[in-house]
Amino acid sequence: MASSPSLLGAAVRHGLVPVQDVRAGRVRVRAVSRSNAVHVIEHDGSAKGFVKQAGAAARLDGDDTVATESAVLRSVAPLDLAPTLILQGGPGSVWMTALPGEELSVVRDPAALRPAAVDLGRALARLHRHVTSGDVPEAPRPWPLWEHLPPSMAGGTTMAGTRPILEALTDPVVRRALDLTAHHWRPSHLIHGDISPGNVIVRTTAASEVRVGLVDFELGGRGCPEHDLVSAASMLDDLSMPGNDLAALCLQAYWAACGPAMVTPGWRCVRALLTAWQVALTLGEDGADDVSRLLTGALDAAEKVVP
């Protein structure tokens, strides 16, 4: 794992910050809370670039998240949806520019949320329709589609909050839905793989138009676009207020832009399980009600899966 001084030196070599400002103390390296090791290079408090290194979970599961992110960022560069890849000589890390804007998770103004939901639909359609280069890897399947839990999740199985989720995975109806969804997994389109409020960046242009960008492509690659679309719809359902159906706005924009995916019960089941596990790990027993609600949704979706 690279140290802060070495990251500062690399930031100077990449042209992100001037060396004199580093010496003057105007530049700092700050760790960002992510599943992998991510640091932001800040100049006078403004983000200039990010560097990502593989975290413990990725190493346990054998995932080369650095190589994946590099390949996907290189492929999506023409779309102007993601940070710009900064080429650098050493292995083990991926550098990228900072994407202007703020995370969707902190946007509260309905006047921004509605156009953001619409633009997210358009952005996903462009991503899914983009023709990938040959070096883009296959995206990892979400863990509910695995036959066994990945090694990085082993520690969570002893927590009381995850017990209902583990029990739900043995339910015959849920297991059947997951097996059928796994059977239909096809690495057919370029996907993001982890659509969440922290990975959608919202900005307002000089023309007062709301636009979104996407960050954290470490779980991306060639995969099923339904994974992204259902994740976006689920995320926007949680952010919607009465009379403001953000998910519907996103889906309408996606299909109007000829996006290839559909919202299916099998993928709704997958998304509910993914979210339930995240809630259980984050909140423990305090999240029991939310986990129960999500598992009810997973079972309801599983019952609608048609062979």
Tens of pLDDT along 242-290?
A: 888 999 999 999 999 999 999 999 999 999 999 999 999 999 989 999 9
Query: Which residue among 97, 118, 135 closes a domain?
Result: 97
Within-domain flag for 15: no
Neighbours of 130 (CB within 10 A): 16
Same domain? For 64 and 201 the reply is no
Within-domain flag for 153: yes
Please give the structure tokens belonging to residue 146. 């695995």
Same domain? For 84 and 198 the reply is no
Within-domain flag for 214: yes
CATH number (domain holding residue 69): 3.30.200
Helix (H, G, I), strand (E, B) or coil at 32: strand
Same domain? For 81 and 127 the reply is no
- DSSP code of 136? P
Which amino acid type is present at position 271? Answer: R
Within-domain flag for 1: no
Span 105-145, pLDDT tens digits: 999 998 899 999 999 999 999 999 999 877 899 999 999 99
Q: What average pLDDT score do residues 292-300 get? A: 98
Query: Which residue among 97, 115, 142 closes a domain?
Result: 97
State yes or no: pLDDT of 33 exceeds 80: no
Number of helices (H), then strands (E), belonging to the chain: the values are: 11, 10
Span 213-250, pLDDT tens digits: 999 999 999 999 999 999 999 999 999 988 889 999 99
Question: How far is the first Cα of the chain from the last one, in angstroms, to the nearest whole number?
Answer: 47
Same domain? For 37 and 132 the reply is no
Same domain? For 82 and 152 the reply is no
Give the pLDDT band of residue 2 (cuts 50, 70, 90): low
pTM of the shown model: 0.94
- DSSP code of 307? -
Residue 43 dihedral angles phi and psi, to the nearest 5°: -120, 115
Instruction: Calculate the CA 120 to chain-centre distance.
Output: 13
State yes or no: pLDDT of 20 exceeds 60: yes
Same domain? For 93 and 106 the reply is no
In the numeric block, the tokens 């023409």 are attached to 78
Within-domain flag for 4: no
Same domain? For 76 and 133 the reply is no
Residue percentage of the chain with pLDDT more than 70 = 97
Please give the structure tokens belonging to residue 209. 């138009």
Within-domain flag for 16: no
Dist. CA 124–CA 195, nearest whole Å: 10
Same domain? For 91 and 111 the reply is no
Question: How many domains, the chain?
Answer: 2
Predicted local distance difference test score (pLDDT) of residue 1: 52
CATH number (domain holding residue 165): 3.90.1200.10
Query: Which residue among 59, 77, 97 closes a domain?
Result: 97
The boundaries of the domain holding residue 35 are 24-97
Is residue 123 within 8 A of residue 45, CB to CB? The reply is no
Within-domain flag for 137: yes
Neighbours of 178 (CB within 10 A): 24
Within-domain flag for 123: yes
Starting at the earlier edge strand, list the strands of the sheet with 46-53: 27-32, 37-43, 46-53, 93-97, 85-86
Same domain? For 33 and 153 the reply is no
Same domain? For 46 and 137 the reply is no
Span 176-190, pLDDT tens digits: 999 999 999 999 999
Please give the structure tokens belonging to residue 254. 């996606």
Same domain? For 193 and 74 the reply is no
- DSSP code of 98? P
For residue 81, give Cα distances in angstroms to 134, 162, 240: 20, 35, 24
Same domain? For 111 and 156 the reply is yes
